[in-house]
Structure 1
Amino acid sequence: MAEPYIRHVQLLGFEKRFSPSQHYVYMFMVKWQDLTEKLVYRKYTEIYEFHKALKEMFPIESGEISKEHRTIPHLPAPKWFDGLRSTENRQVTLADYCSSLLNLPTKISRCPHVLNFFKVRPDDVNPTANTNGRKPETFLLKSENAKKNVSDITGPIILQSYRAIADYEKNTKSELSVKASDVVEVVEKTENGWWFCQMKNKRGWVPAAYLEPLDSPDESEEQDPNYEGELHVTTKGYSGDLEDELNVEEGETVEVIHKLLDGWWVVRRGSKTGYFPAMYLQKSGDAPSADVNQKKSLPPRRRTISNANSIHTKKRTEISQETYRRNSKKYLKQRQSTFDNMKSMSIVEQNEMENKAQPAIPPRPSKKLILDKCSEHTKNKIQTVN
C-alpha cells in the first residue's frame, strides 16, 4: 500500500467561533493521495507553532545555517490579539505558504510532521458546541479557483448570519423580501451594495444597507478612508438626488476615497467630494465587467432608511460629508504643496545652472606680447618677412 501524502491544500476561508471564547480558525481543504478531500480547521497560533517546529527539524532548509540555502517559506508571527481584519488580511499569506510548502522536496512535504498536522482531528468533525446558542460565522475566501462541489468533507459550511433592521419589499424576482428582525445567511457580498442571501428555503438579493451583524462587530467591516484616492472611471452618469451626492457624467475619472458597504462610495472629482453609486464605477485600467449594470437597480443608501432599528446599543459613528471634504482639502493642499516644492526645486536648479560661473575667454595677446614670447629664431624670420 502506498504511503499517504498530501496532493493539495486549499484555504477556503475562516470561521469566527464563540466557544469556549471568541476566536478565529482557518478552514483548509486537504486532498490526499487517494483523492479523498477532508476539511480541517486550524488556529493561526497552531499553524505558527507547526512552522517553528518544521524549521527546527530542517535547519539547513530553514536558513539557520546559511540564509542563502533557505527553501522553507516565511510565516509572520501572530499578533497578541487577532481581530477580524487581521485574520482576513492573512489569508493570502497562508494560501501562498501552503502552496510553497507542498512544492518542497518530499523529505519535507511528506514528512510525518506535515502529514500529522493536516490529518482530521476529532474537533474538526465535532467542534465544541456553543453554550449560548450562537452559531459560528463563516467567511469564505473569494477565489476564481475555489471548488464549488466538495465530494468528501468532514463538516458543513455555515454562512455568516445577519439581521434585517427594517422591512424591505423586493422589486424584482431576483430579490428577497425581508421583515425587520428577520435573520438571513449571507451567501455572497458584492461591492455594489447588494448581498445574496438565503432565508429558510428562499434566496435572493437584499440591499446591504438593510442588514447588520447579529453580534456588534469588534472591528468595522468597512475599510478606513483613503484620502490619497484610488482612480476609477464612471461607466454610467448619475445626477444626485440628495445634496451630498455627486453629479458625474459617464466616462469621467474620479478618485474613490471611501468604500462603504451599502454600495455608495465617497468620491472626489477635482476639489469636490460626494457619494456616488459603486455599481457605476470601474477601477482605472481594468477591463469592463461582463455583467456591469445588468444585475439590478441602485441600492438604497443606509441613511435613507428612516425606520431602521438596530439591536446594538452603540451604533457605528458615520463620517460626515464635511469631514470628508475637510480631510480631502488637506490632502489636496499637501499634494499641491509637494508638487510646488518639486517645481520650485527644478527652477532653483535651473537658475543655479544658468548662474554657474562660465570659463572666461582670454583676451587676444598683442603683437608686442607675442614677439616678446617668441624665440630669437622666430623673431628673425618675422623681421625677414616684413
Structure 2
Amino acid sequence: MTDSYIRHVQLLGFEKRYLPSQHYVYMFMVKWQDLTEKLVYRKYTEIYEFHKALKEMFPIEAGDINKEHRTIPHLPAPKWFDGLRSTENRQVTLSDYSSSLLSLPPKISRCPHVLKFFQVRPEDENRVANSNSGRKPETFLLKEDSSKKNVSDITGPIILQSYRAIADYDKNSKSELTVKTGDVVDVVEKNENGWWFCQLRNKRGWVPSAFLEPLDGPDESEEQDPNYEGELHITTKEYSADMEDELSLKEGESVEVIHKLLDGWWVVRRGSITGYFPAMYLQKSGEKALTNGNPSNRKALPPRRSTISNANSMHKANRKQISQETYRRNSKKYLKQRQSIIHSESNILIITEEIKAEEDKPKPQPAIPPRPSKELILDRCSEHTKNKIRTVN
C-alpha cells in the first residue's frame, strides 16, 4: 500500500468565529495522494507552533547551523492582537508558505509532523454543529487575484530575524519579556524607540534592543547614516541628562534629529549643540502623538547600548563609533553651509524683487510732436504732389 502524502494545499480564506470567544481560523483544502480532498481549519497560532516545531526537527534546513542552507520558508510570528485586517493580509503569506512547504524534499514535506498537522480533526468535521449554540461564523473567501498581491502590501514582517541576548534582562511589566544571556529570540517588530517585540519559544514581549545582537554579524548596517539636515521634532517629556554626551531638555522644546540609532537614543541638535536624547520622548513636528499600544508609554527608558557590558559582544568589537565632537563639527559645517545658502537665496530674492519692481514701473510715453505748418509740408513734398495740390486749388 502506498504511503500517505499530500499532493496540494490550497488556502481558501478564513472564518471569524465567536465561540468560546472571538477568534479567526484559516480554511485549507488539502488534496491527498488518493485524490481525496479534505477541508481543515487552523488558527494562526497553531500554524506558527507547527512551523517552530518543524524548524527544530530540521535544524540544517531551518538555517540554524548555516543561514545559507535554509530551505524551510519563513513565517512571521503572531501579533500581540489579531484583528480582521491582519488576518486578511496574512493570507498571501500563508498561501506562499504552504506552497513552498510542499515543494521541499520528501523527508520534510512528507514527514509525519506535516501529515499529522493537515489531517482532518473531529472539530473540523463538527464545525457546523458546534456553531449552532451561538452566533454563526462569518466566512471570508480569498480573492482570486490576492495571490498576485505585492509582498510589500502585506502587513507585518515577512522574514523574522534571529537575535542573541548579550546580557540578562528581567522584565518590569507583563508586556515585556525576560531573556538570559545567550537566548536566541525572533524579532517580530523593531520600534524606533529602542523597544523590540520578540518571540522566545512560546512567549512574546518587549525587550530593549540594547540587549540584542544579530547572530550573523554586527547590525550597524540597519542604522541610518547621520542626516545633518535634521528632522524637526518636539520633546514630549522633560529629561535630565545622566551622562556628559546627553542633552537635558524640557517638554515642548524644538530640536533637530540628526542620527537615529537602534537602541532608541537619538542624536539631536539644539542650535549648534548635539547630544543623545531618548527617542520615546520625541515626536515629529506636525504629527499627533500615539497613545494606545505604544511602548513609549513605559515608565523606564531603554538603556543605551554602550552601557551593556559584554566582552564578547559584536557591538564592542566591530561597531562604528561617532563621537559627539564629530557630530558637532559636521553640524557646524552643515549649519554654515545652510546659512550661506539662505543668504544666497535671500540675495537672489532681493535682486529678483528689484528686477520685478523695475518691470512693474510704468514706462514713460513718447511725446507727441507738434503738427508741421502747411508751408513746411509743401516744402518737403515732391514736385508731383505739389502739382496735384495746385490743380485742386
TM-score (norm 1): 0.54
Structure 2, unaligned runs of 5 or more: 1-8, 14-60, 77-87, 110-150, 376-393
1:122 matched to 2:104? The reply is: yes
Residues 77-108 of structure 1: CA deviation (Å, up to 9, x unaligned): xxxxxxxxxxxxxxxxxxxxxxxxxxxxxxxx
SS at match of 2:298: coil
SS at match of 1:220: helix
Mapped to 1, the partners of 2:324 and 2:281 lie a distance apart of 20
1:333 matched to 2:315? The reply is: no
Q: Which residue of 2 aligns with 1:54?
A: none
1:222 matched to 2:226? The reply is: no
| Count of aligned residue pairs for this structure pair | 262
1:364-379 map, 5 Å: 373-375=372-374
1:145-160 map, 5 Å: 145=155, 159-160=160-161
Mapped to 2, the partners of 1:125 and 1:38 lie a distance apart of 21
Aligned-residue RMSD, C-alpha:
4.5
Query: Which has the larger displacement, 158-167 or 251-260?
Result: 158-167
Q: Which residue of 1 aligns with 2:245?
A: 244
Q: Which residue of 2 aligns with 1:290?
A: 291
Mapped to 2, the partners of 1:167 and 1:6 lie a distance apart of 41
Q: Which residue of 2 aligns with 1:321?
A: 324
- TM-fit CA distance, 1:231: 2.0
Counterpart of 1:301, as a letter, is: R
Q: Which residue of 2 aligns with 1:193?
A: 194
CA contact (8 A) 2:10 2:95 kept: no
Q: Which has the higher helix share?
A: 2
1:1-386 map, 5 Å: 21=68, 38-40=95-97, 121-122=103-104, 126=108, 145=155, 159-217=160-218, 220-291=221-292, 292=294, 293-305=296-308, 307-312=309-314, 314-351=317-354, 373-375=372-374
Identity of aligned residues (%): 55
Q: Which protein is bigger by CA-based radius of gyration? A: 2
Residues 41-71 of structure 1: CA deviation (Å, up to 9, x unaligned): 9xxxxxxxxxxxxxxxxxxxxxxxxxxxxxx
CA contact (8 A) 1:165 1:309 kept: no
Structure 1, unaligned runs of 5 or more: 9-14, 42-116, 128-140, 148-156, 377-386
- TM-fit CA distance, 1:260: 0.6
CA contact (8 A) 1:27 1:39 kept: no
- TM-fit CA distance, 1:180: 2.6
- TM-fit CA distance, 1:277: 0.8
CA contact (8 A) 1:223 1:258 kept: yes
- TM-fit CA distance, 1:36: 12
Mapped to 1, the partners of 2:211 and 2:337 lie a distance apart of 38
**Distance change >3 Å, CA 295–CA 39, structure 1 → 2:** farther
Mapped to 1, the partners of 2:256 and 2:244 lie a distance apart of 19
SS at match of 2:334: helix
- TM-fit CA distance, 1:241: 1.5
CA contact (8 A) 2:220 2:320 kept: no
**Distance change >3 Å, CA 125–CA 325, structure 1 → 2:** farther
TM-score (norm 2): 0.53
**Distance change >3 Å, CA 5–CA 20, structure 1 → 2:** closer
Q: Which residue of 2 aligns with 1:132?
A: none
Q: Which residue of 1 aligns with 2:23?
A: none
Counterpart of 1:221, as a letter, is: E
- TM-fit CA distance, 1:279: 0.8
Q: Which residue of 1 aligns with 2:39?
A: none
CA contact (8 A) 2:73 2:100 kept: no
CA contact (8 A) 1:233 1:284 kept: yes
SS at match of 1:285: coil
**Distance change >3 Å, CA 363–CA 316, structure 1 → 2:** same
Mapped to 1, the partners of 2:152 and 2:248 lie a distance apart of 32
SS at match of 1:38: helix
Mapped to 1, the partners of 2:108 and 2:299 lie a distance apart of 41
Mapped to 1, the partners of 2:201 and 2:101 lie a distance apart of 34
Mapped to 1, the partners of 2:240 and 2:218 lie a distance apart of 34
Mapped to 1, the partners of 2:106 and 2:338 lie a distance apart of 52
**Distance change >3 Å, CA 336–CA 207, structure 1 → 2:** same
Mapped to 2, the partners of 1:221 and 1:124 lie a distance apart of 37
Mapped to 2, the partners of 1:119 and 1:184 lie a distance apart of 23
CA contact (8 A) 1:196 1:206 kept: yes
SS at match of 2:297: coil
CA contact (8 A) 1:175 1:205 kept: yes
**Distance change >3 Å, CA 167–CA 26, structure 1 → 2:** closer
- TM-fit CA distance, 1:252: 2.4
Counterpart of 1:346, as a letter, is: L
